[in-house]
Amino acid sequence: MSTSGPGIFDDDLACDVRDHYRRSLEDRVPDAEATRRIVEGVEDLLPDEEPVLWLALGATQSRFGRLDDDVRRRALDVIDSGHDVARWAELRPELGAARGAALAALREQLTGPQPPRRAVRRPWREITDLEPGTALAWRASNGVIAVLRVVQVWEDEFTQARHPVLERLAWAGHVVPSADVVAQLPAAGDDGRWRPEGGAGPYHRPGVYLPVRLRKRDPDRHDSGFTVCGHVPARPGDDADWSLGASGVHWGGLSYLLELAAAAELPET
């Protein structure tokens, strides 16, 4: 864990405590259980890290009107002991003063009137409706059709969003292939940039894309012209982590990349 300053949340551990607690509330976890998960989920804390836990948890709970009595007591013990300020003052006197001011403000927050308990809404996140094996077709401006298959659905561990991982297949005709043909299409090819585990340098899977929507108003596959055109049975290696080395793009960005590929492979005459 690292610390960038004397503020309560100028610390990786403090931010982790805040973010994981909020996520528990978004998942409708009961208050006591959310607290237990945070405390039990942080193991083997160093002596200088345990105060960070209680200060961050107290500040976060207070913000949401859910301040637990035991958490408040532990946070106030940290503040009133003076050890935390002394630790910062050993680095530089001005840092000790800044930490003292941050703790004084937090003490006032914890001992003053608490805000009403409020519900926490889960932010929007994309949950793709695509499934492994689904094949998509897309038409470039010169009429060339690109075909891609969903290799797997990747879940973002932090946001719990679910995005498809797509592999481009070897098709460059002007018509969408039949479902039987789609099922047999090989991968578009390897330009040698993919380096297997143990190789040097960055990983890259050519022709493999991870299209995402970060906001609800971002264009989706329908907006970008991708349509379902068949199904491809599972292939050897599909159970590997295909997000490693995939090109992360928006759906519109994927259209742009496919447009470039189509122009290079079968330009207009």
The average pLDDT across 7-22 equals 92
Which is it for the CA torsion 64, 66, 70, 73, positive or negative? positive
Q: Bigger pLDDT: 45 or 79?
A: 79
Average pLDDT of the chain is 89
180-238: pLDDT as tens digits: 999 999 999 754 444 555 554 446 688 999 999 988 899 999 999 999 999 999 999 99
pLDDT band at 116 (very low <50, low <70, confident <90, very high): very high
Predicted confidence at residue 265, as pLDDT, reads 65
Predicted confidence at residue 190, as pLDDT, reads 54
Q: What is d(CA 164, CA 226) in angstroms, rounded to the nearest whole number?
A: 13
Share of the chain above pLDDT 70, in %: 92
β-pair partners for 209: 166, 247
Assess whether pLDDT exceeds 70 at residue 9: yes
